[in-house]
């Protein structure tokens, strides 16, 4: 799978209801996730899966949309907008794929501060629920 195919698969995941198996298949074994609220990078498929799966449910849904996309070779930046509890969220996903088209590195940046705080609150609850 190429990076372009990986990008298409990411879009399909985000618009297709967040199928967990589809997400797992998109991630490289040594994937790394950079959170807008957690200082240390989260390393490994399982951790990256937990964060991206939670984020797709917290930020995804009716109000989520990608506004623009810049793709070059094995990387892309996707600007998104969403709304949580009446708070407008604007952010950027920065994604890099490996040679097999699997997500190798995923960084999320969010603004404004009010949005970061709301994302942190909702993500903490979702991750805790996923952990059981």
* Domains and their CATH numbers in the chain: 3-131 (3.10.450.50)
Strand segments (E) across the chain? 27-34, 42-43, 65-72, 75-84, 87-97, 103-111
Closest CA to 70 of 46, 53, 52, 94: 94
**Residue 58's pLDDT band (cuts 50, 70, 90):** confident
Do 3 and 97 form a contact (C-beta atoms < 8 A)? yes
Do 106 and 26 form a contact (C-beta atoms < 8 A)? no
What's residue 86's pLDDT?
A: 92
Say whether 98 sits in a helix, a strand or coil. Answer: coil
Q: pTM score > 0.85 for this model?
A: yes
What's residue 27's pLDDT?
A: 97
Give the model confidence (pLDDT) of 77-121 as tens digits: 999 999 989 999 999 999 999 999 999 999 999 999 998 888 888
**Residue 60's pLDDT band (cuts 50, 70, 90):** confident
Closest CA to 45 of 19, 16, 66, 23: 23
Question: Residue 17 gets which letter from DSSP?
Answer: T
């Amino acid at each position: 799978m190429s990076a372009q195919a990986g990008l298409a698969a990411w879009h399909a995941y985000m618009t297709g209801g967040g199928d967990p198996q589809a997400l797992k298949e998109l991630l490289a074994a040594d994937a790394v996730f950079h959170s807008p609220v957690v200082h240390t990078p989260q390393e490994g498929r399982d951790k990256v899966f937990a964060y991206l799966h939670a984020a797709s449910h917290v930020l995804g849904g009716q109000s989520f949309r990608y506004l623009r996309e810049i793709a070059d070779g094995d990387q892309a930046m996707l600007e998104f907008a969403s709304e949580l509890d009446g708070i407008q969220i604007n952010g950027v996903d920065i994604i890099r794929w490996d040679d097999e088209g699997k997500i190798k590195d995923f960084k999320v940046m969010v603004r404004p501060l009010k949005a970061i705080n709301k994302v942190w609150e909702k993500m903490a609850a979702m991750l805790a629920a996923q952990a059981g």
